[in-house]
Amino acid sequence: MLPIRCLTKCDAEEDENSQIAVILGGDQRPPCGAKTLLLAPKVKLSSGYEMPILGFGTNKLRGYQCSTAIHYAVETGYRHFDTAYYYENEKDIGEALRTQIKMGNVSRENIFLTTKLWNIHHDPSDVRRICEKQLELLGFNYIDLYLMHFPIGYQHLCDEILKPMKDGKIQT
């Protein structure tokens, strides 16, 4: 079982690596009057980096809705943000996160940013170019976790699938 303790915003900077914090209910407030943060446990990845196990999904977030959602997510303690090339919102996500950094609500070092390579870019010659485009859209110089959105390469498979169809081995 994971250790659980209350973590207030006033002691969050001193204990950013806390295992987990509890959101206080009702009228309860931390002693310093700050809002309570929820900091998720982290898992160590094979690269040695640690990733918060609780992430904030950003699909369909745009504009004002995006900046507001990111603000409240940071305020309540989310540090892992998940976006993707396919969501077409990386620019909005990056702007919202950079705003939170400028406001002093979080540092880049405490954000874990995940984005994904879309299926049509699985050709090895596309990967670096698309990754650099995503970095530019996000406005950051690194991504914490880069995934293949779906680990299948449609682009490579289409021609190969058509060959057995032409030979009559596949009907449809």
**Which of helix, strand or coil describes residue 94?**
helix
For residue range 28-65, what is the model confidence (pLDDT) as tens digits?
A: 444 444 455 667 889 998 888 999 999 999 999 999 99
Residue type, 165: M
The pTM (predicted TM-score) of the whole model is 0.70
Per-residue pLDDT band for 172 (boundaries 50, 70, 90) equals very low
Segment 74-78 long-range contacts (CB within 8 Å, at least 24 positions apart): 74/100, 74/105, 74/106, 75/35, 75/105, 76/23, 76/35, 76/37, 76/38, 77/7, 77/12, 77/21, 77/36, 77/37, 77/38, 77/39, 77/40, 78/38, 78/40, 78/52, 78/54
- All CATH 3.20.20.100 domain ranges of the chain, comma separated, are 42-166
For residue range 1-35, what is the model confidence (pLDDT) as tens digits?
A: 343 344 444 444 444 444 334 443 334 444 444 45
Per-residue pLDDT band for 149 (boundaries 50, 70, 90) equals confident
Mean pLDDT for the stretch of residues 151-161: 62
Homologous superfamily of 42-166? NADP-dependent oxidoreductase domain (3.20.20.100)
More confident residue, 126 or 99: 99
In the chain, beta strands by DSSP E: 42-44, 50-52, 55-57, 80-82, 112-117, 145-148
More confident residue, 41 or 165: 41
The whole-chain average pLDDT of the chain stands at 78
For residue range 105-136, what is the model confidence (pLDDT) as tens digits?
A: 999 999 999 999 888 877 778 888 999 999 99
Q: Which residues are catalytic?
A: 87
Per-residue pLDDT band for 164 (boundaries 50, 70, 90) equals low
User: What pLDDT shows up at residue 115?
Assistant: 92
User: What pLDDT shows up at residue 147?
Assistant: 87
User: What pLDDT shows up at residue 121?
Assistant: 79
- Residues 79, 109 contacting (CB under 8 angstroms): no
Question: What is the C-alpha to C-alpha distance for residues 8 and 6, in angstroms, rounded to an integer?
Answer: 7
- Residue 145: both structure tokens together: 């976790």
Per-residue pLDDT band for 156 (boundaries 50, 70, 90) equals low
